[in-house]
Structure 1
Amino acid sequence: MKHAVLAYLLDRLCSKPAPFFVLDSHAGIGLYDLDGEAAQRTGEAVRGIRRLLATAPALPAAAAPYLAQLARLNGGTLPADGTIRSYPGSPALARGLMRPGDRLVLAELHAEDVETLRGHFRQDTQVAVHHMDGWLALKAHLPPKERRGLVVIDPPFEAPDEYERMVAALALAHRRWSTGIYLLWYPIKDRATMWRFHQMLEDTGIPKILAANLSWADDDRSDRLNGSGLIIVNPPWQTEEALAELLPALHQGMGAVQGGTACHWIRDENGQPGR
Protein backbone atom coordinates (compact mmCIF):
# COMPACT_ATOMS: atom_id res chain seq x y z
CA MET A 1 0.00 0.00 0.00
CA LYS A 2 2.70 2.49 0.98
CA HIS A 3 4.49 2.40 -2.35
CA ALA A 4 1.30 2.61 -4.41
CA VAL A 5 0.18 5.67 -2.42
CA LEU A 6 3.65 7.24 -2.59
CA ALA A 7 3.71 6.89 -6.38
CA TYR A 8 0.23 8.42 -6.58
CA LEU A 9 1.30 11.44 -4.49
CA LEU A 10 4.48 11.96 -6.51
CA ASP A 11 2.51 11.77 -9.74
CA ARG A 12 0.20 14.47 -8.40
CA LEU A 13 3.24 16.66 -7.67
CA CYS A 14 4.28 16.19 -11.31
CA SER A 15 1.00 17.72 -12.47
CA LYS A 16 2.36 21.23 -11.82
CA PRO A 17 5.49 22.62 -13.50
CA ALA A 18 7.30 24.00 -10.44
CA PRO A 19 10.13 21.74 -9.19
CA PHE A 20 9.59 19.69 -6.05
CA PHE A 21 11.72 18.27 -3.24
CA VAL A 22 11.56 14.79 -1.71
CA LEU A 23 13.13 13.75 1.61
CA ASP A 24 13.14 10.10 2.69
CA SER A 25 14.18 10.04 6.34
CA HIS A 26 14.67 6.26 6.67
CA ALA A 27 15.60 5.33 3.12
CA GLY A 28 16.78 1.71 3.37
CA ILE A 29 18.62 0.32 0.35
CA GLY A 30 16.30 1.75 -2.29
CA LEU A 31 15.86 -1.24 -4.60
CA TYR A 32 15.20 -4.91 -3.82
CA ASP A 33 15.86 -8.20 -5.61
CA LEU A 34 12.79 -10.36 -4.98
CA ASP A 35 14.77 -13.46 -5.89
CA GLY A 36 17.58 -12.57 -3.49
CA GLU A 37 18.29 -14.22 -0.17
CA ALA A 38 16.97 -11.35 1.96
CA ALA A 39 13.66 -11.24 0.10
CA GLN A 40 13.25 -14.99 0.31
CA ARG A 41 13.44 -14.80 4.11
CA THR A 42 10.18 -12.83 3.94
CA GLY A 43 8.67 -15.08 1.32
CA GLU A 44 5.07 -14.32 2.20
CA ALA A 45 5.60 -10.62 1.46
CA VAL A 46 7.12 -11.47 -1.92
CA ARG A 47 4.22 -13.77 -2.73
CA GLY A 48 1.80 -11.01 -1.72
CA ILE A 49 3.44 -8.52 -4.11
CA ARG A 50 3.38 -10.96 -7.00
CA ARG A 51 -0.19 -12.01 -6.26
CA LEU A 52 -1.24 -8.35 -6.30
CA LEU A 53 0.56 -7.64 -9.57
CA ALA A 54 -1.20 -10.56 -11.22
CA THR A 55 -4.39 -8.50 -10.75
CA ALA A 56 -2.82 -5.29 -12.15
CA PRO A 57 -5.32 -4.85 -15.02
CA ALA A 58 -8.16 -4.63 -12.49
CA LEU A 59 -6.53 -1.97 -10.30
CA PRO A 60 -7.95 1.59 -10.44
CA ALA A 61 -6.31 4.56 -12.13
CA ALA A 62 -4.66 5.69 -8.88
CA ALA A 63 -2.38 2.64 -9.11
CA ALA A 64 -1.11 3.53 -12.60
CA PRO A 65 2.02 5.49 -11.51
CA TYR A 66 3.07 2.62 -9.22
CA LEU A 67 2.54 -0.02 -11.89
CA ALA A 68 4.42 2.07 -14.45
CA GLN A 69 7.49 2.24 -12.20
CA LEU A 70 7.40 -1.51 -11.58
CA ALA A 71 7.24 -2.09 -15.33
CA ARG A 72 10.12 0.35 -15.94
CA LEU A 73 12.37 -1.58 -13.57
CA ASN A 74 11.42 -4.97 -15.00
CA GLY A 75 12.03 -4.74 -18.72
CA GLY A 76 9.21 -2.36 -19.58
CA THR A 77 6.26 -4.67 -18.97
CA LEU A 78 4.67 -6.51 -16.07
CA PRO A 79 4.41 -10.29 -16.49
CA ALA A 80 0.83 -11.53 -16.43
CA ASP A 81 1.61 -13.73 -13.43
CA GLY A 82 3.24 -10.86 -11.51
CA THR A 83 6.64 -12.54 -11.19
CA ILE A 84 8.82 -9.45 -11.24
CA ARG A 85 12.36 -9.52 -9.86
CA SER A 86 13.26 -5.88 -9.15
CA TYR A 87 11.09 -4.09 -6.61
CA PRO A 88 11.55 -0.37 -5.85
CA GLY A 89 11.68 1.00 -2.35
CA SER A 90 10.67 4.60 -1.77
CA PRO A 91 13.98 6.04 -3.10
CA ALA A 92 13.75 4.23 -6.45
CA LEU A 93 10.08 5.09 -6.81
CA ALA A 94 10.74 8.76 -6.09
CA ARG A 95 13.65 8.93 -8.52
CA GLY A 96 11.64 7.24 -11.24
CA LEU A 97 8.89 9.85 -10.99
CA MET A 98 11.12 12.90 -10.73
CA ARG A 99 11.67 15.34 -13.59
CA PRO A 100 14.73 17.44 -14.42
CA GLY A 101 14.96 20.09 -11.71
CA ASP A 102 13.36 18.00 -8.97
CA ARG A 103 15.50 16.95 -6.01
CA LEU A 104 15.74 13.88 -3.75
CA VAL A 105 17.51 13.67 -0.37
CA LEU A 106 17.96 10.24 1.23
CA ALA A 107 18.94 9.68 4.87
CA GLU A 108 19.95 6.27 6.20
CA LEU A 109 21.65 5.35 9.48
CA HIS A 110 23.01 1.87 8.69
CA ALA A 111 26.41 2.09 7.02
CA GLU A 112 26.01 -0.95 4.79
CA ASP A 113 22.66 0.28 3.50
CA VAL A 114 24.14 3.72 2.85
CA GLU A 115 26.80 2.20 0.61
CA THR A 116 24.15 0.27 -1.30
CA LEU A 117 22.13 3.46 -1.75
CA ARG A 118 25.17 5.37 -2.95
CA GLY A 119 25.84 2.61 -5.45
CA HIS A 120 22.36 3.05 -6.92
CA PHE A 121 22.66 6.84 -7.24
CA ARG A 122 26.42 7.44 -7.51
CA GLN A 123 26.37 9.48 -10.72
CA ASP A 124 22.99 11.13 -10.12
CA THR A 125 23.27 14.86 -9.50
CA GLN A 126 19.60 15.12 -8.48
CA VAL A 127 20.01 12.70 -5.57
CA ALA A 128 21.94 13.26 -2.32
CA VAL A 129 22.58 10.36 0.07
CA HIS A 130 23.42 11.15 3.71
CA HIS A 131 24.67 8.74 6.38
CA MET A 132 22.68 10.11 9.29
CA ASP A 133 19.86 9.46 11.72
CA GLY A 134 16.52 9.93 10.01
CA TRP A 135 15.02 11.96 12.84
CA LEU A 136 17.92 14.42 12.65
CA ALA A 137 17.56 14.58 8.86
CA LEU A 138 14.13 16.15 9.21
CA LYS A 139 15.64 19.08 11.09
CA ALA A 140 18.76 19.28 8.92
CA HIS A 141 17.02 19.35 5.52
CA LEU A 142 13.80 21.23 6.22
CA PRO A 143 12.73 23.66 5.02
CA PRO A 144 14.04 23.13 1.49
CA LYS A 145 14.39 25.90 -1.07
CA GLU A 146 11.43 24.44 -2.97
CA ARG A 147 7.90 25.31 -1.83
CA ARG A 148 6.47 22.01 -3.06
CA GLY A 149 7.43 18.48 -2.15
CA LEU A 150 7.01 15.39 -0.03
CA VAL A 151 8.61 13.92 3.08
CA VAL A 152 8.54 10.15 3.66
CA ILE A 153 8.85 9.05 7.30
CA ASP A 154 9.08 5.27 7.51
CA PRO A 155 11.10 4.18 10.57
CA PRO A 156 11.79 0.52 11.37
CA PHE A 157 9.69 0.58 14.57
CA GLU A 158 12.44 -1.10 16.57
CA ALA A 159 12.34 1.36 19.49
CA PRO A 160 9.47 1.22 22.02
CA ASP A 161 8.84 4.97 21.70
CA GLU A 162 8.75 5.07 17.89
CA TYR A 163 5.19 6.43 17.74
CA GLU A 164 6.03 9.28 20.11
CA ARG A 165 9.19 10.08 18.16
CA MET A 166 7.24 10.10 14.91
CA VAL A 167 4.63 12.51 16.23
CA ALA A 168 7.27 14.84 17.70
CA ALA A 169 9.26 14.73 14.46
CA LEU A 170 6.19 15.51 12.37
CA ALA A 171 5.28 18.44 14.60
CA LEU A 172 8.80 19.87 14.28
CA ALA A 173 8.98 19.27 10.53
CA HIS A 174 5.56 20.84 9.94
CA ARG A 175 6.59 23.95 11.88
CA ARG A 176 9.63 24.26 9.63
CA TRP A 177 7.84 23.44 6.35
CA SER A 178 4.07 23.62 6.55
CA THR A 179 3.43 23.46 2.78
CA GLY A 180 4.97 20.04 2.18
CA ILE A 181 3.14 16.74 1.90
CA TYR A 182 4.08 14.26 4.65
CA LEU A 183 3.65 10.51 4.26
CA LEU A 184 4.09 8.44 7.43
CA TRP A 185 3.97 4.64 7.56
CA TYR A 186 3.24 2.61 10.69
CA PRO A 187 2.47 -1.05 11.44
CA ILE A 188 -1.03 -2.10 12.42
CA LYS A 189 -0.97 -4.65 15.20
CA ASP A 190 -3.69 -3.94 17.73
CA ARG A 191 -6.50 -1.44 17.42
CA ALA A 192 -5.81 0.32 20.72
CA THR A 193 -2.25 1.26 19.74
CA MET A 194 -3.45 2.61 16.40
CA TRP A 195 -6.09 4.82 17.98
CA ARG A 196 -3.63 6.14 20.60
CA PHE A 197 -1.33 7.12 17.74
CA HIS A 198 -4.17 8.86 15.91
CA GLN A 199 -5.05 10.74 19.10
CA MET A 200 -1.45 11.92 19.48
CA LEU A 201 -1.58 13.20 15.90
CA GLU A 202 -4.87 14.99 16.53
CA ASP A 203 -3.37 16.60 19.63
CA THR A 204 -0.67 18.30 17.50
CA GLY A 205 -3.34 20.57 16.03
CA ILE A 206 -1.87 20.14 12.54
CA PRO A 207 -4.65 20.51 9.94
CA LYS A 208 -5.30 18.27 6.95
CA ILE A 209 -4.25 14.90 8.41
CA LEU A 210 -5.68 11.93 6.50
CA ALA A 211 -5.39 8.36 7.82
CA ALA A 212 -5.51 5.32 5.52
CA ASN A 213 -5.40 1.73 6.76
CA LEU A 214 -5.19 -1.66 5.09
CA SER A 215 -5.24 -4.81 7.21
CA TRP A 216 -5.11 -8.43 6.12
CA ALA A 217 -5.89 -9.93 9.53
CA ASP A 218 -8.04 -8.93 12.48
CA ASP A 219 -6.33 -6.09 14.38
CA ASP A 220 -6.78 -7.60 17.82
CA ARG A 221 -3.36 -9.18 18.41
CA SER A 222 -0.23 -7.20 19.21
CA ASP A 223 2.15 -10.13 18.68
CA ARG A 224 1.99 -10.01 14.87
CA LEU A 225 1.75 -7.59 11.95
CA ASN A 226 -1.89 -7.37 10.90
CA GLY A 227 -1.75 -4.52 8.42
CA SER A 228 -0.22 -1.23 7.31
CA GLY A 229 -1.26 2.30 8.12
CA LEU A 230 -0.48 5.58 6.40
CA ILE A 231 -0.80 9.15 7.58
CA ILE A 232 -0.89 11.83 4.87
CA VAL A 233 -0.54 15.47 5.86
CA ASN A 234 -1.56 18.03 3.22
CA PRO A 235 -2.89 15.42 0.78
CA PRO A 236 -3.59 16.74 -2.72
CA TRP A 237 -7.18 17.42 -3.70
CA GLN A 238 -9.27 14.25 -4.19
CA THR A 239 -6.73 11.98 -2.50
CA GLU A 240 -9.42 10.67 -0.16
CA GLU A 241 -11.59 9.69 -3.13
CA ALA A 242 -8.66 8.03 -4.89
CA LEU A 243 -7.80 5.98 -1.80
CA ALA A 244 -11.44 4.95 -1.39
CA GLU A 245 -11.03 3.14 -4.72
CA LEU A 246 -7.42 2.05 -4.40
CA LEU A 247 -7.34 0.50 -0.93
CA PRO A 248 -10.17 -2.03 -1.40
CA ALA A 249 -8.68 -3.02 -4.77
CA LEU A 250 -5.28 -3.63 -3.14
CA HIS A 251 -6.90 -5.62 -0.33
CA GLN A 252 -8.72 -7.81 -2.84
CA GLY A 253 -5.66 -8.13 -5.08
CA MET A 254 -3.56 -9.37 -2.16
CA GLY A 255 -6.04 -12.18 -1.68
CA ALA A 256 -6.82 -11.08 1.88
CA VAL A 257 -9.88 -12.72 3.39
CA GLN A 258 -9.73 -10.93 6.75
CA GLY A 259 -9.18 -7.35 7.80
CA GLY A 260 -10.27 -4.53 5.53
CA THR A 261 -9.59 -0.91 4.63
CA ALA A 262 -10.48 2.50 6.04
CA CYS A 263 -9.80 6.13 5.21
CA HIS A 264 -10.74 9.05 7.45
CA TRP A 265 -9.64 12.52 8.50
CA ILE A 266 -7.88 12.93 11.84
CA ARG A 267 -8.09 16.70 11.35
CA ASP A 268 -9.73 18.30 8.32
CA GLU A 269 -8.55 21.26 6.26
CA ASN A 270 -9.95 23.67 8.84
CA GLY A 271 -8.09 21.94 11.65
CA GLN A 272 -11.25 20.41 13.09
CA PRO A 273 -11.17 16.82 14.41
CA GLY A 274 -12.34 14.49 11.67
CA ARG A 275 -15.09 11.95 11.51
Structure 2
Amino acid sequence: MLSYRHAFHAGNFADVLKHSVLTLVLEYMTRKDKGFYYIDSHAGAGMYQLTDPYAQKTGEYKAGIAKLIAKQDAPAALQTYIKLVAQLNQQALADKADITVYPGSPGIARHFTRRQDSAHMFELHPSDIGYLTEFCQRWNKAHVKQADGYQGVLSLLPPPSRRGVVLIDPPYELKEDYLKAVRTIVSGYKKFATGTYILWYPVVKRELVEQMQAAFMASELRNVLQVEYCQQADTLTYGMTGTGLFIVNPPWQLKAQLTEILPYLTTTLGSTASQHTLTQLIEE
Protein backbone atom coordinates (compact mmCIF):
# COMPACT_ATOMS: atom_id res chain seq x y z
CA MET A 1 0.00 0.00 0.00
CA LEU A 2 2.89 2.36 0.72
CA SER A 3 4.26 2.20 -2.84
CA TYR A 4 1.70 4.66 -4.24
CA ARG A 5 3.03 8.13 -5.06
CA HIS A 6 0.55 10.76 -6.17
CA ALA A 7 3.40 12.80 -7.67
CA PHE A 8 3.06 10.69 -10.85
CA HIS A 9 -0.51 11.93 -11.30
CA ALA A 10 -0.54 15.45 -9.83
CA GLY A 11 -2.68 17.85 -11.84
CA ASN A 12 -4.28 15.21 -14.06
CA PHE A 13 -7.96 15.11 -15.05
CA ALA A 14 -8.90 13.33 -11.81
CA ASP A 15 -7.21 16.02 -9.73
CA VAL A 16 -8.99 18.70 -11.73
CA LEU A 17 -12.41 17.32 -10.82
CA LYS A 18 -11.52 16.54 -7.20
CA HIS A 19 -9.77 19.81 -6.45
CA SER A 20 -12.23 22.05 -8.26
CA VAL A 21 -15.00 20.57 -6.10
CA LEU A 22 -12.86 20.87 -2.96
CA THR A 23 -12.22 24.53 -3.82
CA LEU A 24 -15.94 25.23 -4.16
CA VAL A 25 -16.76 23.46 -0.88
CA LEU A 26 -14.04 25.27 1.10
CA GLU A 27 -14.93 28.60 -0.45
CA TYR A 28 -18.52 28.05 0.69
CA MET A 29 -17.38 27.20 4.23
CA THR A 30 -15.55 30.52 4.55
CA ARG A 31 -18.75 32.50 3.94
CA LYS A 32 -19.54 32.17 7.64
CA ASP A 33 -17.24 33.59 10.29
CA LYS A 34 -17.54 30.52 12.50
CA GLY A 35 -14.51 28.25 12.23
CA PHE A 36 -14.46 24.77 10.73
CA TYR A 37 -12.30 21.64 10.68
CA TYR A 38 -10.71 20.45 7.44
CA ILE A 39 -9.84 16.74 7.75
CA ASP A 40 -7.82 14.95 5.05
CA SER A 41 -7.50 11.17 5.38
CA HIS A 42 -4.76 10.58 2.76
CA ALA A 43 -3.11 13.96 2.40
CA GLY A 44 -0.05 13.18 0.28
CA ALA A 45 2.86 15.60 0.00
CA GLY A 46 0.91 18.86 0.14
CA MET A 47 2.58 20.47 -2.89
CA TYR A 48 3.98 18.80 -6.00
CA GLN A 49 6.91 19.87 -8.14
CA LEU A 50 5.94 19.22 -11.73
CA THR A 51 9.57 19.45 -12.78
CA ASP A 52 10.59 16.37 -10.81
CA PRO A 53 11.07 12.95 -12.46
CA TYR A 54 7.77 11.56 -11.10
CA ALA A 55 5.59 14.18 -12.78
CA GLN A 56 7.74 14.39 -15.90
CA LYS A 57 7.64 10.62 -16.40
CA THR A 58 3.89 10.65 -17.02
CA GLY A 59 3.25 14.31 -17.87
CA GLU A 60 -0.38 13.83 -16.87
CA TYR A 61 -0.72 17.44 -15.73
CA LYS A 62 -0.23 18.57 -19.36
CA ALA A 63 -3.55 16.97 -20.30
CA GLY A 64 -5.19 18.25 -17.09
CA ILE A 65 -4.65 21.53 -15.26
CA ALA A 66 -2.17 22.88 -17.85
CA LYS A 67 -4.86 22.70 -20.53
CA LEU A 68 -7.35 24.60 -18.38
CA ILE A 69 -4.88 27.38 -17.64
CA ALA A 70 -3.96 27.69 -21.31
CA LYS A 71 -7.57 27.87 -22.51
CA GLN A 72 -8.63 30.87 -20.38
CA ASP A 73 -12.33 30.39 -21.16
CA ALA A 74 -13.45 28.29 -18.18
CA PRO A 75 -16.89 28.82 -16.62
CA ALA A 76 -17.18 30.91 -13.46
CA ALA A 77 -17.42 27.82 -11.25
CA LEU A 78 -13.87 26.79 -12.25
CA GLN A 79 -12.23 30.19 -12.05
CA THR A 80 -11.25 30.19 -8.37
CA TYR A 81 -9.51 26.82 -8.69
CA ILE A 82 -7.68 27.78 -11.89
CA LYS A 83 -6.61 31.15 -10.49
CA LEU A 84 -5.29 29.46 -7.34
CA VAL A 85 -3.01 27.21 -9.40
CA ALA A 86 -2.06 30.04 -11.74
CA GLN A 87 -1.05 32.23 -8.81
CA LEU A 88 1.39 29.55 -7.62
CA ASN A 89 2.89 29.52 -11.12
CA GLN A 90 2.87 33.27 -11.70
CA GLN A 91 6.51 33.56 -12.81
CA ALA A 92 6.39 30.54 -15.12
CA LEU A 93 3.23 31.81 -16.80
CA ALA A 94 4.71 35.31 -17.16
CA ASP A 95 7.67 33.69 -18.91
CA LYS A 96 5.23 31.70 -21.10
CA ALA A 97 6.74 28.49 -19.72
CA ASP A 98 5.16 25.29 -18.42
CA ILE A 99 3.69 25.41 -14.93
CA THR A 100 6.08 24.03 -12.33
CA VAL A 101 4.04 23.37 -9.16
CA TYR A 102 0.65 21.93 -8.34
CA PRO A 103 -1.14 21.98 -4.96
CA GLY A 104 -2.41 18.77 -3.47
CA SER A 105 -5.51 18.87 -1.29
CA PRO A 106 -3.54 20.34 1.66
CA GLY A 107 -2.31 23.08 -0.67
CA ILE A 108 -5.90 23.88 -1.64
CA ALA A 109 -7.00 23.86 2.01
CA ARG A 110 -4.14 26.10 3.08
CA HIS A 111 -5.37 28.76 0.68
CA PHE A 112 -8.81 28.86 2.33
CA THR A 113 -8.32 28.17 6.02
CA ARG A 114 -8.43 31.18 8.32
CA ARG A 115 -7.26 31.88 11.86
CA GLN A 116 -10.45 30.36 13.30
CA ASP A 117 -10.18 27.20 11.18
CA SER A 118 -7.92 24.18 11.63
CA ALA A 119 -6.60 21.50 9.28
CA HIS A 120 -5.94 17.89 10.26
CA MET A 121 -4.02 15.74 7.80
CA PHE A 122 -3.04 12.07 7.84
CA GLU A 123 -0.46 10.33 5.68
CA LEU A 124 1.32 6.96 6.00
CA HIS A 125 3.87 7.07 3.17
CA PRO A 126 7.36 7.49 4.70
CA SER A 127 8.49 9.98 2.04
CA ASP A 128 5.29 11.98 1.65
CA ILE A 129 4.87 12.47 5.40
CA GLY A 130 8.20 14.30 5.40
CA TYR A 131 7.19 16.57 2.52
CA LEU A 132 3.79 17.18 4.11
CA THR A 133 5.30 18.07 7.48
CA GLU A 134 7.68 20.52 5.83
CA PHE A 135 4.85 22.05 3.79
CA CYS A 136 2.79 22.64 6.94
CA GLN A 137 5.59 24.08 9.12
CA ARG A 138 4.48 27.71 8.82
CA TRP A 139 0.77 26.93 8.61
CA ASN A 140 -0.87 27.89 11.88
CA LYS A 141 -3.42 25.38 13.14
CA ALA A 142 -2.25 22.67 10.75
CA HIS A 143 -1.85 19.24 12.37
CA VAL A 144 -0.04 16.39 10.60
CA LYS A 145 0.07 12.77 11.75
CA GLN A 146 1.68 9.69 10.25
CA ALA A 147 -1.29 7.49 11.00
CA ASP A 148 -4.16 5.54 9.47
CA GLY A 149 -6.42 8.12 7.89
CA TYR A 150 -9.64 6.18 8.29
CA GLN A 151 -9.23 5.97 12.05
CA GLY A 152 -7.90 9.50 12.10
CA VAL A 153 -11.07 10.89 10.55
CA LEU A 154 -13.30 9.15 13.07
CA SER A 155 -11.16 10.26 16.01
CA LEU A 156 -11.82 13.93 15.20
CA LEU A 157 -15.59 13.79 14.80
CA PRO A 158 -17.60 15.72 15.70
CA PRO A 159 -15.46 18.88 15.53
CA PRO A 160 -15.98 21.37 18.39
CA SER A 161 -17.55 23.97 16.10
CA ARG A 162 -19.90 21.40 14.54
CA ARG A 163 -18.68 22.60 11.13
CA GLY A 164 -16.36 20.46 9.07
CA VAL A 165 -15.20 19.17 5.67
CA VAL A 166 -13.81 15.64 5.41
CA LEU A 167 -11.89 14.54 2.32
CA ILE A 168 -11.27 10.81 1.91
CA ASP A 169 -8.91 10.16 -0.96
CA PRO A 170 -7.25 6.72 -0.63
CA PRO A 171 -4.90 5.23 -3.24
CA TYR A 172 -7.21 2.22 -3.80
CA GLU A 173 -4.25 -0.11 -4.20
CA LEU A 174 -6.23 -2.53 -2.06
CA LYS A 175 -9.67 -3.56 -3.29
CA GLU A 176 -10.90 -3.30 0.29
CA ASP A 177 -10.43 0.49 0.19
CA TYR A 178 -13.59 0.98 -1.88
CA LEU A 179 -15.98 -0.23 0.81
CA LYS A 180 -13.72 0.74 3.71
CA ALA A 181 -13.90 4.37 2.58
CA VAL A 182 -17.71 4.27 2.41
CA ARG A 183 -17.96 2.60 5.82
CA THR A 184 -15.74 5.29 7.30
CA ILE A 185 -18.13 7.96 6.07
CA VAL A 186 -21.15 6.01 7.35
CA SER A 187 -19.49 5.75 10.77
CA GLY A 188 -18.50 9.40 10.67
CA TYR A 189 -22.03 10.44 9.74
CA LYS A 190 -23.37 8.76 12.88
CA LYS A 191 -21.12 11.01 14.94
CA PHE A 192 -21.42 14.14 12.78
CA ALA A 193 -24.44 14.12 10.49
CA THR A 194 -24.15 17.75 9.34
CA GLY A 195 -20.58 17.60 8.04
CA THR A 196 -19.66 17.68 4.37
CA TYR A 197 -17.88 14.51 3.24
CA ILE A 198 -16.08 14.20 -0.09
CA LEU A 199 -15.05 10.72 -1.23
CA TRP A 200 -12.90 10.45 -4.35
CA TYR A 201 -12.75 7.25 -6.40
CA PRO A 202 -11.16 6.04 -9.65
CA VAL A 203 -13.17 4.26 -12.31
CA VAL A 204 -11.12 1.12 -12.89
CA LYS A 205 -13.72 -1.61 -12.53
CA ARG A 206 -17.36 -0.55 -12.72
CA GLU A 207 -18.47 -3.26 -10.30
CA LEU A 208 -16.38 -1.66 -7.53
CA VAL A 209 -18.11 1.68 -8.03
CA GLU A 210 -21.48 -0.06 -7.99
CA GLN A 211 -20.55 -1.68 -4.67
CA MET A 212 -19.88 1.77 -3.24
CA GLN A 213 -23.20 3.06 -4.53
CA ALA A 214 -25.04 0.12 -2.99
CA ALA A 215 -23.30 0.61 0.35
CA PHE A 216 -24.31 4.28 0.45
CA MET A 217 -27.90 3.48 -0.49
CA ALA A 218 -28.15 0.80 2.18
CA SER A 219 -27.02 3.27 4.85
CA GLU A 220 -28.91 5.91 6.80
CA LEU A 221 -27.16 8.77 5.02
CA ARG A 222 -29.17 11.58 3.43
CA ASN A 223 -28.29 14.05 0.68
CA VAL A 224 -25.58 12.23 -1.28
CA LEU A 225 -24.50 13.61 -4.65
CA GLN A 226 -22.48 11.53 -7.10
CA VAL A 227 -20.45 13.15 -9.86
CA GLU A 228 -18.41 11.28 -12.44
CA TYR A 229 -16.25 12.23 -15.39
CA CYS A 230 -14.93 9.47 -17.65
CA GLN A 231 -12.44 10.13 -20.40
CA GLN A 232 -13.10 6.74 -21.95
CA ALA A 233 -15.81 4.10 -21.88
CA ASP A 234 -15.57 1.40 -19.21
CA THR A 235 -13.19 -1.37 -20.13
CA LEU A 236 -12.31 -4.82 -18.83
CA THR A 237 -8.60 -4.15 -19.26
CA TYR A 238 -6.57 -2.63 -16.42
CA GLY A 239 -6.40 1.15 -16.18
CA MET A 240 -8.30 4.18 -14.91
CA THR A 241 -10.83 5.37 -17.47
CA GLY A 242 -12.58 7.93 -15.27
CA THR A 243 -12.95 9.53 -11.89
CA GLY A 244 -15.76 10.38 -9.53
CA LEU A 245 -16.83 11.80 -6.20
CA PHE A 246 -19.51 11.01 -3.66
CA ILE A 247 -20.38 14.19 -1.79
CA VAL A 248 -22.44 14.02 1.40
CA ASN A 249 -24.21 17.25 2.40
CA PRO A 250 -22.91 19.29 -0.55
CA PRO A 251 -23.28 23.07 -0.43
CA TRP A 252 -26.65 24.03 -1.83
CA GLN A 253 -25.29 25.57 -5.05
CA LEU A 254 -22.71 22.86 -5.83
CA LYS A 255 -24.99 20.83 -8.07
CA ALA A 256 -25.68 23.86 -10.27
CA GLN A 257 -21.95 24.67 -10.38
CA LEU A 258 -21.18 21.12 -11.53
CA THR A 259 -23.63 21.48 -14.39
CA GLU A 260 -21.24 24.18 -15.67
CA ILE A 261 -18.02 22.37 -14.86
CA LEU A 262 -18.71 18.89 -16.24
CA PRO A 263 -19.54 19.77 -19.87
CA TYR A 264 -16.53 22.06 -19.99
CA LEU A 265 -14.16 19.37 -18.69
CA THR A 266 -15.61 16.82 -21.09
CA THR A 267 -15.04 19.14 -24.04
CA THR A 268 -11.69 20.59 -22.97
CA LEU A 269 -9.93 17.56 -21.49
CA GLY A 270 -11.78 14.72 -23.19
CA SER A 271 -12.72 13.37 -26.60
CA THR A 272 -15.81 12.07 -28.36
CA ALA A 273 -15.53 8.98 -26.11
CA SER A 274 -15.75 11.06 -22.92
CA GLN A 275 -18.88 11.45 -20.80
CA HIS A 276 -20.07 12.76 -17.44
CA THR A 277 -22.92 12.13 -15.03
CA LEU A 278 -24.36 14.05 -12.09
CA THR A 279 -26.76 12.09 -9.89
CA GLN A 280 -28.58 12.78 -6.66
CA LEU A 281 -27.83 9.31 -5.34
CA ILE A 282 -29.76 9.86 -2.08
CA GLU A 283 -32.27 12.65 -1.56
CA GLU A 284 -32.11 15.10 1.33
Matched residue SS, 1:212: strand
Q: Aligned partners of 1:267 and 1:81: how far apart in 2? A: 45
Q: Aligned partners of 2:237 and 2:181: how far apart in 1? A: 19
1:52 to 56, 68, 76: 68
The CA deviation at 1:126 is 1.7
The CA deviation at 1:81 is 6.9
Matched residue SS, 1:23: strand
- RMSD (Å), alpha carbons: 1.8
* Cα offsets for 1:158-209 (capped at 9, x unmatched): 1121111011111111111111100100001233332222111111120000
Q: Is the 8 A contact 1:52 1:82 kept in 2?
A: no
Structure 2 residue 181 is matched with structure 1 residue 149: no
TM-score by length of 2: 0.89
Unaligned runs of 5+ in 2: 1-16
Q: Aligned partners of 2:103 and 2:136: how far apart in 1? A: 13
Moved more, 204-213 or 12-21: 12-21
Query: How many corresponding residue pairs?
Result: 268
Counterparts of 1:62-77 in structure 2, within 5 Å, are 62-75=77-90
Q: Aligned partners of 1:108 and 1:250: how far apart in 2? A: 29
Q: Aligned partners of 1:203 and 1:19: how far apart in 2? A: 32
Q: CA 1:166 to 1:121, structure 2 compared with 1: closer, same or farther past 3 Å?
A: same
Q: Is the 8 A contact 1:31 1:92 kept in 2?
A: yes
Q: Is the 8 A contact 2:115 2:140 kept in 1?
A: no
The CA deviation at 1:224 is 1.1
Unaligned runs of 5+ in 1: 270-275
Q: Aligned partners of 2:54 and 2:171: how far apart in 1? A: 16
Moved more, 246-255 or 39-48: 39-48
2:48 to 13, 32, 37: 32
Matched residue SS, 2:32: coil
One-letter amino acid matched to 1:41: K
- Look up the match of 1:218: 233
Counterparts of 1:96-175 in structure 2, within 5 Å, are 96-175=111-190
* Cα offsets for 1:68-93 (capped at 9, x unmatched): 21123122795697831110000000
- Look up the match of 1:273: none
Q: Aligned partners of 1:108 and 1:4: how far apart in 2? A: 22
Q: Is the 8 A contact 1:251 1:261 kept in 2?
A: yes
Q: Is the 8 A contact 1:153 1:183 kept in 2?
A: yes
Q: Aligned partners of 1:206 and 1:222: how far apart in 2? A: 33
* Cα offsets for 1:95-120 (capped at 9, x unmatched): 11122211111100112211111111
Matched residue SS, 1:28: coil
Structure 2 residue 246 is matched with structure 1 residue 242: no
Q: Is the 8 A contact 1:186 1:228 kept in 2?
A: yes
Q: Is the 8 A contact 1:26 1:107 kept in 2?
A: yes
Q: Aligned partners of 2:215 and 2:270: how far apart in 1? A: 32
Identity %, equivalent residues:
34
Matched residue SS, 1:54: helix
Counterparts of 1:1-12 in structure 2, within 5 Å, are 1-12=17-28
Q: Aligned partners of 1:82 and 1:216: how far apart in 2? A: 27
Moved more, 105-114 or 227-236: 105-114
Q: Is the 8 A contact 2:69 2:86 kept in 1?
A: no
Q: Aligned partners of 1:201 and 1:87: how far apart in 2? A: 32
Q: CA 1:81 to 1:232, structure 2 compared with 1: closer, same or farther past 3 Å?
A: farther
Q: Aligned partners of 1:210 and 1:243: how far apart in 2? A: 11
Q: Aligned partners of 1:52 and 1:164: how far apart in 2? A: 33
Q: CA 1:78 to 1:183, structure 2 compared with 1: closer, same or farther past 3 Å?
A: farther
Q: Is the 8 A contact 2:92 2:99 kept in 1?
A: no
One-letter amino acid matched to 1:53: I
Q: Aligned partners of 2:32 and 2:237: how far apart in 1? A: 42
Q: CA 1:76 to 1:119, structure 2 compared with 1: closer, same or farther past 3 Å?
A: same
